[in-house]
Amino acid sequence: MNRSEIEREVRATLARLTEQDASGIAADADLGDALGLDSLGRLELLAEVEDRFDVLIEDVDMDKVATIEGIIDVAERTLAPADAGAA
């Protein structure tokens, strides 16, 4: 799965969780400021990402998942070993 596909899924999950349009949010915008997502909301988002991509995201510093870009980075790193094993 490539970065743009991950981003699309993350944005769709954000929209579902927050009931707000996440398509216009800058990838580096703070999710708290842009969508009102607090640390509990970010944890819920990570759980949704885990379910969607069928991966386990190890404990991460919550500052790393404060933006769409940060969540994509964490998801990419987590998916990379699975993608390598499938090759």
Report the candidate in 82, 64, 81 with the shortest Cα–Cα distance to residue 73: 64
A 10 A CB-CB count for 72 gives 20
The tokens describing 17, both together, are: 């969780």
Asked if 38 is an active-site residue, the reply is: yes
DSSP 54: T
Annotated catalytic residue within 28, 33, 38, 83: 38
Catalytic residues: 38
